[in-house]
Amino acid sequence: MRIIAGTFRGRRLASVGKGDAGARLRPTADRVRESLFNMLASGYDDPCRDADVLDLFAGTGALGLEALSRGAQSATFIENGRTALRLLRENIGICRAGDRARVIQRDARRLGACPGASGSLVFLDPPYGKRLGEAALDAALEGGWIAPGALIVWEESAEVTPPPGLRFCDERHYGDTVIRIFERA
């Protein structure tokens, strides 16, 4: 894995190989990440620029770090897995992004109240097929973690049921990965 573009371009991130089934790590492939960020940049008025990113089920942090590399002002990473937290912190160090990154060790389905700025760009990449994304989005909306007008990028292999108040914008398929983009009304 590597950062595709921006100020961290070309930096190799800590590797988990093809994923860590025990830790439920399944990093977004470079090709999929590149396509996603190209789609965002061309169709949504560059949502990375000056964004406050919320990366739910952050895993290795590749999505949030890519957004920081492309101009986001901050990223909050929500993760509770030990292996993922270790890799996430290592990757923040590799990118020297510690001054703009905040790691919160917490279950994304039990967020509570947001302690800072709400996310204007949200990445949601839960373990596939467990319907954890719906619960995490409900918790994030209830706790004020997602700003009005925020773009939400939801990566999942199965059909999803977004909570009320989200408008569907786009959907792209990459093998068994489906990227859906919603906007908070």
> Residue 179 belongs to a domain with what CATH number?
3.40.50.150
pLDDT of 80 > 70? The answer is yes
Contact status, residue 54 vs residue 151, Cβ threshold 8 Å: no
Distance, in Å, from the CA atom of 42 to the CA atom of 15, rounded to the nearest integer, reads 29
| Structural domain includes residue 113 | yes
| Structural domain includes residue 10 | no
pLDDT class of 21 with cuts at 50, 70, 90: low
| Structural domain includes residue 23 | no
Considering the entire predicted model, what is its pTM? 0.91
More confident residue, 173 or 32: 173
In 10-156, DSSP assigns E strands to: 52-56, 74-79, 101-105, 119-124, 146-156
Query: Residues 41-67: pLDDT tens digits?
Result: 887 878 899 999 999 999 999 999 999
pLDDT of residue 17: 55
pLDDT of residue 46: 82
pLDDT of residue 151: 96
In a 3-state reduction of DSSP, which class is residue 141?
A: helix
- In terms of residue numbers, what domain contains 122? 30-184
pLDDT of 150 > 60? The answer is yes
Q: How many domains is the chain built from?
A: 1
pLDDT of 26 > 90? The answer is no
Please say whether the dihedral angle defined by the alpha carbons of residues 144, 147, 148 and 151, taken in this order, is positive or negative. Answer: negative
| CA-to-CA separations, 155 to 26, 95, 139, 180, in angstroms, rounded | 11, 23, 17, 6
| Structural domain includes residue 25 | no
Contact status, residue 179 vs residue 155, Cβ threshold 8 Å: yes
